[in-house]
Amino acid sequence: MSKKDEAMSLFKLGANCSQAVLGAFAKECNLSYDEAMKLASGFGAGMGRMREVCGAVSAMVLVANLKYGSADLSDKAAKDEHYKLIQKLAEEFKKENGSIVCRELLGLAKNENTSPISEARTESYYKKRPCAELVGMAAEILEKNL
Number of helices and strands (H, E) in the chain?
Answer: 8, 0
Q: How far apart are CA 68 and CA 1, in angstroms?
A: 24
* pLDDT tens digit sequence for 4-31: 999 999 999 999 999 999 999 999 999 9
Q: Fill in the DSSP letter of residue 122.
A: -
Write down the mean pLDDT value for the chain: 95
Average pLDDT over residues 32-60: 97
* pLDDT tens digit sequence for 107-122: 998 887 888 888 888 8
Q: Which of 1, 20, 19, 146 is nearest to 86 (CA)?
A: 146
- 48 pLDDT more than 80: yes
Supply the pTM of this predicted model: 0.94
